[in-house]
């Protein structure tokens, strides 16, 4: 059963018992927004009940940060007025395959749901950075953030100072690079610029606990970049990657070793194709950008 791991008057984060996967429910005077409803039927039901309690006459919007099956399983349980996702997610060429992954999860664990499993259909597909959607006083801005998957997307809710980030900047997962390490790096690079345009303090990742200050999410960004650069260095110099330091920091090696090895194989392949080369001087500054360092207080609101 999921637990509520974070709550303030506008934001409730439900965390699944599986993979510490987060569903975020945002409520303002203008809308209710549900992000990535998942995993288990009882968990999704608790989210649905909560949404029904608070929705009143407000529109309910559903948003998917990316198409990984663990993030879309509750799609049909939420009665949504509008569904948001990236254009890449809405045009995904392997929708059937993703749905099959969700179905085989349910079959493997004999899970029955009172709603069908379907691949989400977009009413609003984000095709470029900085696209906005405003209703009443509530403004959402969307950013395309490929790297983890080709179709990843983040949303910033302006007056709440909140970024919902999908599978980036987790405190329980190092970067899982299922699309491209180059795009992944660009996404991390872009975050301070997204901040400068939108200003947010809090960031909710797809798995793990929310980062509640600028310093907190900046630290996670540095951790992610450090991991990426260490992999690049190891692949291009042939000096083995120091895995023990990884398992010192992340607590689930018996599963995550596989994810790390996938990263290695993908990046080795990218390297052999000449998609990147390693030059320590080329790495982006791991220190927080100046604009963020000055403001970087913990409790601005
Ligand atoms: Zn995920």
| Position 52 in a domain | yes
The DSSP output letter for 26 is E
CA 193 to mean position of chain CA atoms: 17
**Interaxial angle between packed helices 181-198 and 214-237, expressed in degrees from 0 to 180 and rounded to the nearest 10:** 160
What CATH number has the domain bearing residue 61? 3.60.15.10
Give the Cα separation of 29 and 26 in Å (integer): 10
How many other β-carbons are positioned within 10 Å of the β-carbon of residue 133? 17
Please state whether 246 falls in left (phi above 0), alpha (psi between -120 and 50) or beta.
Answer: alpha
Write out pLDDT tens, residues 180-223. 999 999 999 999 999 999 989 999 999 999 999 999 999 999 99
Write out pLDDT tens, residues 140-187. 999 999 999 999 999 999 999 999 999 999 999 999 999 999 999 999
Write out pLDDT tens, residues 258-285. 999 999 999 999 999 999 998 877 666 6
Examine the pLDDT at 297 and tell me if it is beyond 70: no
| Position 156 in a domain | yes
Radius of gyration of the chain (CA): 19
Instruction: Give the pLDDT confidence score for residue 214 in this predicted structure.
Output: 95
Parent domain of 98: 3-214
Give the Cα separation of 106 and 115 in Å (integer): 13
| Position 185 in a domain | yes
Contacts 24+ apart (CB under 8 A), 269-275: 270/180, 270/181, 270/182, 271/232, 271/235, 271/236, 275/180, 275/182
Cis bond leading into 39, ω under 30°?
yes
Q: Where are the alpha helices (DSSP H) in the chain?
A: 41-55, 87-90, 95-108, 181-198, 214-237, 243-249, 253-272, 290-295
Tell how far the Cα of 23 is from the centroid of ligand 1, in angstroms: 11
Tell how far the Cα of 38 is from the centroid of ligand 1, in angstroms: 10
Q: If you search the block for the tokens 């945002």, which residue do you land on? A: 26
Q: Where are the alpha helices (DSSP H) in 37-169?
A: 41-55, 87-90, 95-108
CA 239 to mean position of chain CA atoms: 31
| Position 43 in a domain | yes
| Position 239 in a domain | no
- What is the mean predicted confidence (pLDDT) over 53-75? 97
Instruction: Give the pLDDT confidence score for residue 296 in this predicted structure.
Output: 44
User: For the chain, what is the domain count?
Assistant: 1
| Position 241 in a domain | no
- What residues contact 253, with CB distance under 8 A and at least 6 apart? 246, 247
Tell how far the Cα of 90 is from the centroid of ligand 1, in angstroms: 18
How many other β-carbons are positioned within 10 Å of the β-carbon of residue 187? 27
| Position 110 in a domain | yes
Write out pLDDT tens, residues 215-249. 999 999 999 999 999 999 999 999 999 999 999 99
- What is the mean predicted confidence (pLDDT) over 49-54? 97
Examine the pLDDT at 292 and tell me if it is beyond 80: no
| Position 207 in a domain | yes
Q: Are 195 and 203 in contact (CB under 8 A)?
A: no
Tell how far the Cα of 237 is from the centroid of ligand 1, in angstroms: 31
Tell how far the Cα of 74 is from the centroid of ligand 1, in angstroms: 14
Instruction: Give the pLDDT confidence score for residue 293 in this predicted structure.
Output: 58
Mean pLDDT, all residues of the chain:
94
Q: Where are the alpha helices (DSSP H) in 73-180?
A: 87-90, 95-108
- Structure tokens, 32: 């209710």
Tell how far the Cα of 230 is from the centroid of ligand 1, in angstroms: 23
């Amino acid at each position: 059963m999921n637990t509520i791991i974070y709550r303030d008057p506008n934001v409730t984060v439900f965390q699944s018992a599986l993979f510490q996967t987060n569903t975020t429910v945002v409520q303002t005077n203008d809308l209710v927004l549900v992000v990535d409803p998942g995993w288990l039927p009882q968990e999704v039901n608790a989210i649905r009940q909560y949404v029904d309690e608070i929705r009143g006459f407000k529109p309910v919007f559903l948003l998917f940060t990316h198409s990984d099956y663990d993030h879309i399983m509750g799609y049909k349980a939420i009665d949504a007025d509008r569904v948001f996702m990236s254009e890449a997610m809405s045009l995904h060429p392997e929708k059937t395959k993703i749905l099959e992954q969700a179905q085989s999860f349910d079959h493997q664990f004999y899970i029955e749901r009172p709603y069908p499993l379907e691949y989400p259909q977009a009413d609003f597909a984000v095709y470029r950075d900085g696209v906005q959607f405003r209703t009443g006083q509530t403004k959402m801005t969307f950013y395309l953030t490929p790297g983890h998957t080709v179709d990843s997307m983040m949303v910033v809710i302006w007056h709440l100072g909140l970024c919902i980030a999908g599978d980036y900047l987790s405190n329980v997962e190092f970067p899982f690079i299922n699309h491209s390490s180059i795009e992944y790096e660009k996404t991390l690079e872009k975050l301070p610029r997204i901040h400068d345009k939108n200003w947010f303090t809090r960031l909710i990742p797809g798995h793990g606990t929310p980062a509640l200050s600028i310093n907190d999410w900046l630290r996670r960004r540095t951790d992610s970049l450090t991991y990426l650069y260490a992999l690049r260095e190891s692949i291009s110099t042939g000096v083995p990657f120091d895995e023990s330091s990884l398992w010192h920091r992340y607590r689930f090696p018996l599963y995550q070793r596989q994810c790390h090895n996938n990263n290695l194989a993908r990046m080795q392949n990218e390297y052999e194709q000449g998609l990147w080369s390693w030059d320590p001087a080329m790495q982006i500054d791991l220190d927080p950008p100046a604009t963020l360092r000055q403001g970087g207080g913990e409790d601005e609101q």
